[in-house]
Structure 1
Amino acid sequence: MDAYSITGQTVFPEGVRPARIGIDPGSGVVVSVEDSRNSVPADKLIFPGFVDAHVHAREYPEPTEPGSVEWEKWQSACKKEIFTSAGNAAINGGVTAIGAMPNDPSPPDNPEGYEAKLRISESSPCPVVLFACVTRNSEPWGDIPYKVYLDSTPSTVAFDSWSDLEETLERYRGRRLFFHAEDPEILQKNAGKGPRWKTRPPEAESNAVRRILDLTTKFGLKTHICHVSTQEAVTTIQEYNRNASTRVTSEASPHHLFFHVNNGKVSAPGWREIPNVNLLESNPPLRSETDRAFLMEALKTGQVDILATDHAPHTIQDKLAGAPGMPHLDTVGQFVCWLLKKQGFTPQRVAEALSVVPSELFAPNLAIAQGHIKPGFAASFTILDLHAKVSVDRVGIQGRGLFRTRCGWSPFTGYRFPGTVMKTIVRGQGYTFYEDSL
């Protein structure tokens, strides 16, 4: 394929301006960026490609004994998502690279298991940064992101004891660690006492964040806190960062920014029709309107560093049975349009939260640098149409067709977004969902 260019209102750190971007699809990089004097639509924005740092792609190496219990678990997981479908859903939502989480029945906690899963991840049409899992007996082995899970009960992936975690982290000094921050002791104390917003209270998160920050200092960790959901957790991280030599980063997820709960009743700004609340269960759970509004402002001002979906492709049947989490990849671009048009985010802040900072977190693991629109960086772009208004229905997005995620639903069913993804370009390869293109 020959070199080509795109022209439009382009988002740079210093502002938005018309630009002509030269692309070499062979190498997948930007070869030139020039100011454009051509008239371009003001409501079509070119962003450096979005990077979703928190995705559950479900697929992992197939167990060797077909028909066994472990094989049945693998087959069930792959019915919900595989790397091919996760990559397609990402591109559908304007995402050009994903970070794949390791909470599999057989977690990638050693070089052999990690390499086996890495080979499978190559089936994704967009780049995948693969997380390794920290487990009780695991050892670090490379400059890769590691995920730490905390929960009320022990499992192959989760710690239910702070002493066990501290003993393990002694071996992970100086490593990049991403934490699911909920205090197992508080979760154990509240087990069986009601819905998630009661059994996983705000103090479970804030307590866990404090203890993780203590461990960060003790072991010199490069720490990232996943899916923060409370004002107290964000404030605690802010206070720590004032005197820290290395910044602790954090992320917010769409459901914690959009929905809130009040005595079990779920609401969302400007939206009357809320789907079955069982579909909105997550870990950590939805929080109060006070927490939601604070989290929104914290993400807008950069106190929370990035937006990451925590895409969790469960089937409707699994959700009704209590599975936590919800799918978001297909609707990332639409959600960003809502942030831009309804929540007062600037294009520069969106680029920072979804492109610049996630790319920096994954920099050692991206074959081609991304996060900026300049020569030598990946020719990966998210192009949004802020004029179109699209509704999400039970099986897809108006004008876009079916969801690409295998689980086939969205928590935003029934909502009308004030914009959509016009085109996604991944390392020079364009994916268009409208007849007109740049």
Structure 2
Amino acid sequence: MIIQGTLVSSSGTSHSQIRLEGNQIVETGSNLGKADYSFSDDCLVFAGMGDIHIHARDDVGESQIYKEDFCTAAAAAINGGVVHAADMPNNPVPPITDESYHDKLKHLEQRNPAIHFTLYAGIGPGTRPLSFAVPYKAYMGPSVGDLFFRTLEQLDETLSHYRGCNVSFHCEDPILLDEHANAATHEARRPAECEISATRFALQMIEKYELRGKLCHYSVGEGLPLIREARSRGVKVTCEVTPHHLYFDQSDLTDENRGKMQMNPPLRTVSDRKAMLAALRDGTLDYLATDHAPHTLDENEQGISGQPHLDTYGAFVTWLILDQKFTPEQAALFCSENPGDFVNPYVSPKKFGRIEAGYTASLTVLNLRQPVTIKREDMQTKCGWSPFEGITFPGSIEAVFIEGKRVR
């Protein structure tokens, strides 16, 4: 199969062709033959986009699949132009040992979803590393689920056993969360100081135990200099940012929408949101990661935190490119290349993130001239809603290829 169009990487764009054989890219160039698919100049062809922070809600116990499972998460991902995703471990049956991780992996394989999922293992009080390489997630304070730490000293002791591992941190200081637990609003119960304090501690842990660290769903502008300073000293840390922390802020909150607009960490100030956009632009933030959290609307109204975002990933990227003036090359870095680099050590023989020979033949094609209005009836996530309902993004998904086959 030969695909022709404007190909995008972090190093530039070019009108070129891609030749696919089976599930791999075998060649790129300008004269490979007659194209099976030719995309107009309105479109941009990216290496398949990856979301390295989602909650599929699926595990061997199946107690939460009423709101999502691996197959419906995959359908939502394809709807949003996402070709691979990494699933978080805060399940009712968490993957924290070799046995429980393999059980979840076997369960995933039995589901046989339409995209590739990488599974995080959980770190909790008293856990130990698995006997094989996986990415890990540490919840520094209470979030959705029971896999979290109540003190930073407890986290320090546990992390001492994970030296050299790939560990992602949910940065909220559990002691400060306790101190603010009785505040009037969700935002006041999880204030910026909780994230800043936890950022300092996470960076200390990453340096102390020589971790390959990642800070999840970053949201506070005041914490960004801490990250930059640590990197300048050689600390190996990367950072995510979510669509909701780039698009919404506390000025968008009303009494009517507060349930749907609750997440951990919460929405921040206008200046924090603008700081996240600037940090994604300058490379301080490395990944557009959704923290896709498919709770039902009833659950959100009852105070369960999280929003679903897989369905709208690619459309949101067109907003970044066309309205916020990010370059296509920047989008290729934080949507394709960096997510691919994150998962590739764990997905062999697959390789995601680049339009190059030897990489998996999965592609995301965005149409920058075809706006889309987000409608509830178009969502594929099982929970069936989006915080972007009624919003028109300036572009849309033109096509998605998964391992050599066009699926959209």
TM-score by length of 1: 0.88
Mean Cα deviation higher: 102-111 or 133-142:
133-142
Alignment coverage as a number of residue pairs: 400
The residue number in structure 2 matching 1:88 is 75
Supply the distance in 2 between the matched residues of 1:176 and 1:158 (Cα, whole angstroms).
17
> Residue 105 of structure 2 is aligned with which of 118, 121, 129?
118
> Residue 84 of structure 2 is aligned with which of 80, 86, 97?
97
Mean Cα deviation higher: 13-22 or 100-109:
13-22
Judged with a 3 Å threshold, the aligned counterparts in structure 2 of structure 1 residues 32 and 152 are, in CA distance, closer, same or farther, namely closer
Identity of aligned residues (%): 37
Q: Superposition pairs for residues 140-179 of structure 1, below 5 Å?
A: 140-141=129-130, 142-152=132-142, 156-179=146-169
Judged with a 3 Å threshold, the aligned counterparts in structure 2 of structure 1 residues 251 and 188 are, in CA distance, closer, same or farther, namely same
> Residue 362 of structure 1 is aligned with which of 337, 340, 343?
343
Contact 1:153-1:184 at 8 Å conserved across structures = no
Structure 1 gaps, min length 5: 63-73, 268-273, 397-402, 433-438
> Residue 392 of structure 1 is aligned with which of 357, 374, 379?
374
Which amino acid is 1:97 matched to?
Answer: H
The residue number in structure 1 matching 2:389 is 413
Tell me the SS of whatever aligns to 1:45.
strand
Deviations 1:41-80 (A, max 9, x none): 2211100100100000001003xxxxxxxxxxx43x1000
The residue number in structure 2 matching 1:67 is none
The residue number in structure 2 matching 1:290 is 271
- Runs of 4+ with >6 A deviation: none
Judged with a 3 Å threshold, the aligned counterparts in structure 2 of structure 1 residues 389 and 184 are, in CA distance, closer, same or farther, namely same
Contact 2:144-2:305 at 8 Å conserved across structures = no
Q: Superposition pairs for residues 101-250 of structure 1, below 5 Å?
A: 101-122=88-109, 123-141=112-130, 142-152=132-142, 156-244=146-234, 246-250=235-239
Deviation at 1:405, TM superposition (A): 0.6
Contact 1:49-1:95 at 8 Å conserved across structures = yes
Deviation at 1:155, TM superposition (A): 6.7
Supply the distance in 1 between the matched residues of 2:361 and 2:312 (Cα, whole angstroms).
22
Is 1:427 matched with 2:408? no
Judged with a 3 Å threshold, the aligned counterparts in structure 2 of structure 1 residues 31 and 115 are, in CA distance, closer, same or farther, namely same
Tell me the SS of whatever aligns to 2:407.
strand
Judged with a 3 Å threshold, the aligned counterparts in structure 2 of structure 1 residues 21 and 350 are, in CA distance, closer, same or farther, namely same
Contact 1:382-1:425 at 8 Å conserved across structures = yes
Which amino acid is 1:115 matched to?
Answer: H
Supply the distance in 1 between the matched residues of 2:150 and 2:327 (Cα, whole angstroms).
40
Is 1:372 matched with 2:348? no
Supply the distance in 1 between the matched residues of 2:42 and 2:275 (Cα, whole angstroms).
28
Contact 2:144-2:304 at 8 Å conserved across structures = no
Deviation at 1:152, TM superposition (A): 4.6
TM-score by length of 2: 0.95
The residue number in structure 1 matching 2:240 is 251
Which amino acid is 1:30 matched to?
Answer: I
Tell me the SS of whatever aligns to 2:253.
strand
Deviations 1:267-325 (A, max 9, x none): 9xxxxxx9723201000000000000010011012111111000000000001101101
Q: What CA RMSD, in Å, does the superposition of the two structures yield over aligned residues?
A: 1.8
Tell me the SS of whatever aligns to 1:210.
helix
Contact 1:154-1:160 at 8 Å conserved across structures = no
